[in-house]
Each structure stands twice: as structure tokens, then as C-alpha cells.
Structure 1
Amino acid sequence: MSYQIPPDAVRIWRGFRQATLPQDEFFQRLGETFIPSTVQMQIKNGLDTYVPTIPCGMAQKPATVPDETAILFWNSQQTYWDGFKTLAGRTYTLTHGGCYTPESGADFPILFDGDLVLDQCYYLIDKSQDWMKGKIRHLVGGLPAGANTAELFQNLQSILVETQVRGKIQGGIICVGADYITYWELGDGTDPGLEQLQSHCDWSHVFEPVPTTLPPQAALWDDWPGMKVKPGDTYNMQFTRAFENE
């Protein structure tokens, strides 16, 4: 069944581990609870794509770079907000407090129009795409300390404009914080935009999310120990979406 997933119906998550939570326990909570429960508790609420990535624990990663990133597509922005009407949606959201700092958060993007603003999330291509079924590259990078923000943002803006003009990617999502870049690209990997953004980082890694399906015993009420998560893991979770059962 064909279903149009709007390009602005994506929550862009940037999570920072609480300093009091040991890394091993952070990975354990992600694998045993957070990643699988996102799928299992949110499918019926209209979750269409979930791509979590764990930079936490990677060699030389600055503390100012997110420890976990994710993109979560929904049927629409309203679908996401409607999820809080359900017990599953409210329960899932409340569980985040035990892992992440208050600086962590997620936002919907706006269409990039040539003006890059700090901490604003953007999508580059104004077309519906199915990110679950496509090839994704994901850049997570740390920006140099003391960088000239005005000059840096001008350079980054130019890269994004040129990426849009080339039209080689199917989709692009970006958020630039004070100290980091997070960028997701949907396409065949031949567009140079990601590498151009990466050249402005003093620490970076390019992830290629692995299509990953939970085992049948990962249902909410079955005996299942969870996933094993380690530094640098990245997943494009594969699941049957609610609209595919209609």
C-alpha cells in the first residue's frame, strides 16, 4: 500500500546522557527498553520510521556532541501530538527522564529556505519519502571550539543551498547546535553535501543505519532480554506500520 509520509512529520532527537548514569547502564537501558519500546509502544500511535544512533562512548567524542540521535517519522505532526492522548504514548515519554539531561530534546523541522538558525531543525527536500525503506547516511560532528559562528553558518548555509539545487538526494534533515552538527541524508550516497558539512567538524563520524527487525519474542508481554547496544551502533528499525495493516 502506498502512503505519503510528509517530510515535516519527523521528530529530530538529540539526547545527552546524564552524567550520573554510567555508560554501560545507558547502553543497557537503550537496548533493553528504549529502542525496542519505541517501536512496540508507538506503532499504533502512527510511528512510520525510527532511526536511532548511539555516538556515546565513541573514541574522542566531545561531551558537547549528542550521545544518542534519532529521527522518528509519523503519519503527520498532528498524529504525534495525538499520541499523548494514549496511555502508551504518555508512559513512553515519561521514561526518558531516567537517562537524559534536560538539554536533550526533539523538534519538528521547517523547510530550509537559505537561512540557517542555531538549534532550528530543517528538512531540505519538500517531498514525501519512505525513510524506512531507503539508504541513509547520518553525520554526527563536533564543531571546533571558538569557531567564528557567523562565518561558519554562512559556509554551512551555502552547502545546504547547493545540496538543494543539485537535487541528487531524496531527503535531508539537519540541526546545528552550538557545538555540533546532526545531518541525515536519504539517497544513493553520491551527493557531496554530507562530506562538505563534515569538513567543518573537528570530530565526526558518518553512520550508515542498519535495517534491523525485532524478533517475535520482543513483544511487550514476552520473555525477552532486549538488544545488545554498544558505542557507534545505528539502526533503521523495520516494522509493519499501522497504515500497512489497513
Structure 2
Amino acid sequence: MSRPPQNTPPPAPPNSVRVWCGFKLPRMQVEEFNNLMGTVFIPATVKMQAAAGLDSYVPTVLTGLEGKPDSVPDETALVFWKTQQAYDNCRNKMLAGRAYKLTHSGVFDFENRKSLSSFPVPFNGSLEFDKPTYLFEKNAAWMHGTVRHFIAESPAGTDPAAFLAALSQKLAEIKQNLNQQLEGAIAFARKDYFVYWELAPPAAPAETSEAPSGVPLLKEALAGSWSRAFTAEPANVTNNGLWDEWLGMTGVRAGSSLNVQFERQ
């Protein structure tokens, strides 16, 4: 899809992103979940929060992918804000933000923190469970670049410490060797899975075999595990509003990875 004309706010700081990993409620069927992602949740994330400082939004729908383990999230997303304070203001001080937050419990499983989001911290050489991290101290315009996403199941029978150590080594290589080629990189590990996003310049090839990328390195560390790699496709929601007669993004399905295009405030 073509990208619409965009205003150009300053690039977002790397610590201003909510790293989201969500699991659907057990009672919800795959088709129902994916339909709700496209017709409600993905467009509502933009329409109810853009005016409050939402900067960029990259959701990926995973439920329904062949062979996906139940221990791997059904949806992941990077939700960038102008600042962390903009996020806090939207969620706690604005009616639209509070209403949007409440809709999640009807779709996502939050028991025992199964579904969660949090801000990342700088990568210090050691990846930790349940603590997102960013590799580069660069402000970046994630809406306008090439975003690649990688997700993998934790290897069966692997010691958790060894799992983290192997990933930490690869992330350190990415940080050292790809600092000039990538504009951003974010990683997150839980005991059952690992997720990673990277931002390349807009003209960069989508395929990791044709461009500098950390994804092949991470695949090496997780060889033998279920994994998938995606390149987010631009998806325009600029011309539709909350009060328009609009069915939403009806093409969202298993494997949809989107870099949502919208007018920022």
C-alpha cells in the first residue's frame, strides 16, 4: 500500500514505545479474534489515541499461523508515543484512553500477566526475562522506515540461563556491527518466547537476505525452534474516522504485520 502524506514530528525516543505481547482469551476462536483485530482493535488504537501523542504503531497478528505454539503470543505490537508522559496522560487522564484500555479485557487474557506491555530499557549486554530492551540510543521515525519483526518459541529443554546468554550474545553483535545500518532495534524475552523488531531506512530491502539485518543472527541462536519473520506492510487508516460508516481493516488475518499510517498530532 502507498504511504499517505505525513506531517513530520520529531523522531520518537527509543524508550517511548510500549512493547505489547497479547494472548487471546481461551474461549475466543481464531477467526473471531483476527476479525476483531482488523475491525476494532488496530484501527481503534490509532483513532482513539493519535490526538494524545501516538507516534507509530506496528501490530502483527500471529494466531492461526501454521504450527504456532500456544505459548507464543497471538498478537504483538510496537506502540510508539511522543514520550512516556504522553502515554501516561492518555491512559490515565483522557476519557478516550481510559475507554480504550477497558476494551482489552474482553479479548485478551491478562491472568497471571499472560498479556502485557511495558517500556524498554537500554541494552547493557545481558537480556533479562520480562524486560524489553532497545539496542540503539537513537530517536527514530518508525512509521516511515522498513520494520522487520522476528518471533520464536523458546527451544525445548534449553536451560533458561543458556537461552538468555545465547540471545544476549547475538544482540550484542547486532548492537556493535549494525549500528550504522539500522535506525532502531528492540528485543523482549519471556521464558516461552522471544520477540525482536528492527528499523531499517525506508529504501532498505524488505528481505533480510538482501540487507544488513539482525534477524539471521537471531535465527541461528534459535535454530530448531518454531519461528517466523515478517516485514511490516504500510496500512493507511488516515481517511476514516470514529463516526464514519466503515468496516475497518477487513483484510487482517494470520500473519498480517502492519506499519499503520496515520496523521500524527
Measure how far apart 1:192 and its partner are.
4.5
Identify the residue that residue 97 of structure 2 maps to in structure 1.
89
Separation (CA, whole Å) in 2 of partners of 1:207 and 1:114: 25
Runs of 4+, deviation exceeding 6 Å:
none
The answer (yes or no) to whether the contact 1:163–1:191 under 8 Å persists in 2 is no
| 1:195 Cα deviation after fit | 1.3
Q: Which amino acid aligns with 1:97?
A: S
The code of the aligned residue for 2:212 comes to D
Q: Which amino acid aligns with 1:115?
A: S
The TM-score with structure 2 as length reference comes to 0.88
CA RMSD in angstroms comes to 1.2
What residue in structure 2 maps to residue 51 of structure 1?
A: 58
Query: Hey, what's the Cα distance between the residues in 2 that align with 1:56 and 1:138?
Result: 15
Superposed CA deviations along residues 104-163 of structure 1, whole A, max 9, x for unmatched, are 011000000102111110000001010000001100111122212222211111111111
Aligned identity (percent) is 40
Q: How many residues align?
A: 241
Tell me which moved more, 116-125 or 218-227: 218-227
Q: What are the Cα deviations for residues 20-58 of structure 1, in whole angstroms up to 9, with x where unaligned?
A: 011111111111110001011100110000000001100
Alignment partners' CA distance in 2, 1:12 and 1:150: 22
1:183 matched residue in structure 2? 196
TM-score (norm 1): 0.95
Q: Distance in 1 between matches of 2:235 and 2:45?
A: 13
Separation of aligned partners in 1, 2:241 and 2:11 = 27
Q: Could you list the runs of 5+ residues in structure 1 that have no partner in the other structure?
A: none
CA distance, structure 1, for counterparts of residue 58 and residue 40 of structure 2: 15
For residues 87 and 71 of structure 1, the distance between their equivalents in structure 2, rounded to whole angstroms, comes to 22
Aligned twin of 1:9: 16
1:206 to 204, 223, 229: 229
1:158 aligns with 2:158: no
Counterpart of 2:77 in structure 1 is 70
State the distance in 2 between where 1:124 and 1:191 align. Answer: 15
Residue aligning to 1:80 = 87
Helix, strand or coil at the partner of 2:33: helix
Structure 1 residue 215 displacement after superposition: 5.9
- Report the 3-state secondary structure (helix = DSSP H, G, I; strand = E; otherwise coil) of the residue aligned with 1:17: coil
Question: Residues 192 and 27 of structure 1: is their aligned pair in 2 closer, same or farther, counting only changes over 3 Å?
Answer: closer
2:155 alignment partner AA: P
Q: Secondary structure at the match of 1:181?
A: strand
Deviations 1:83-113 (Å, cap 9, x if unpaired)?
0211100000100001111110110000001
Q: Note if contact 1:145-1:179 (Cα within 8 Å) is conserved in structure 2.
A: no
User: Residues 191 and 149 of structure 1: is their aligned pair in 2 closer, same or farther, counting only changes over 3 Å?
Assistant: farther
Of the structure 1 ranges 143-152 and 23-32, higher mean CA displacement relative to structure 2 is found in: 143-152
Corresponding residue to 1:222 among 225, 233, 244 = 244
Cα pair 2:154 2:163 within 8 Å, conserved: no
Q: Which residue of 2 aligns with 1:193?
A: 214
Matched, 1:238 2:264: no
Answer yes or no: is 1:98 the counterpart of 2:106.
Answer: yes
Q: 1:190-212: per-residue Cα shift (whole Å, max 9, x none)? A: 33421121231511111100001
Instruction: State the distance in 2 between where 1:165 and 1:131 align.
Output: 21
Give CA-to-partner distance per residue, 1:56-82, whole Å, 9 cap, x none: 100000000010000011010011001
Cα distance in 1 for residues equivalent to 2:213 and 2:255: 23
Which 5+ residue runs of structure 2 have no aligned equivalent?
A: 1-7
Distance 1:151 1:41, change over 3 A: same
What is aligned with 1:172?
185
Q: Distance in 1 between matches of 2:196 and 2:72?
A: 13
Residues 20 and 117 of structure 2 are in contact (CA less than 8 Å); yes or no, is this contact kept in structure 1? Answer: yes
The corresponding residue for 2:127 is: 116
